Amino acid sequence: MDLISLLFPGLKKFEYVDEIPILEDNRAPWKILDKNHNKSLNSQLMGIKSENDESKYIGISLDETKGPIFIHPTAIIDPFVRIEGPTYVGENVHIRHCAYLRSGCWISRDSVVGLCTEIKNSLLLPGSKAPHFNYVGDSILGFKVNLGAGTKLSNVRNDKREIIVTIQDGIRINSGLKKFGSLIGDKVEIGCNTVTNPGTIIQVDSMIIPNSTIKGWN
């Protein structure tokens, strides 16, 4: 099953292909989240050129100890933000007050990382928004996804075992990852205070009601 085409159809018509990482495995797109994979998000980020003008940002923390940080000149970075490399912040992105971008973030153009939101080892495709008190761990958000306030994408099982993924036909696949959050398809709207369990997949154009707990294929 070609999960990339099914979940992220916006990739086919996106004009700025050099601004997004390569999703190499159509059948298992979560492999980009595995730092040991040769085309992992982390390894692709290590190839970016460090580019940021710290003099234009007031009260933010940029830490390139683990890798480079690229911030597009049009991106807006509010005060009291912390960004750890390797990280890419694209054109017209807005990183709001007190956000925390941990190592391994790729924030594509026109996206929003909001107040007190934490992103870790994740890809936000263009126009996606995690705008209010969100946690996004080891996940991929499709084009124009919107996370309601307080939504959390959980990425670790309570028993710390490897995460099982259920795909459309009901087949269960061992992802081989102990840290894997969610694959959120293009234009998904998730209601406030929702929690997705590790390995959750949500199909294109879905709408999740507030205060939900989501798992498996949706």
Full-model pTM: 0.96
* pLDDT value, residue 1: 81
pLDDT digits 0-9 by tens, 3-42: 999 999 999 999 999 899 999 899 999 999 999 999 999 9
* pLDDT value, residue 55: 73
The catalytic position among 37, 72, 94, 132 is 132
pLDDT digits 0-9 by tens, 68-90: 999 999 999 999 999 999 999 99
Cβ within 8 Å of residue 110, ≥6 positions away: 90, 91, 92, 93, 126, 127
How many structural domains compose the chain?
A: 1
Is the bond preceding residue 73 a cis peptide, omega within 30 degrees?
no
Is 53's pLDDT higher than 90? no
How many helical (H) and strand (E) elements, i.e. helices and strands, does the chain have? Answer: 3, 24
Sign of CA dihedral 181, 15, 24, 104: negative
- What residue spans of the chain are helical by DSSP H? 3-7, 10-13, 41-45
Structural domain including 164 reads 3-214
pLDDT digits 0-9 by tens, 185-194: 999 999 999 9
- How many other C-beta atoms can be found within 10 angstroms of the C-beta atom of residue 72? 16
Active site residue 132: yes
CATH of residue 135's domain is: 2.160.10.10
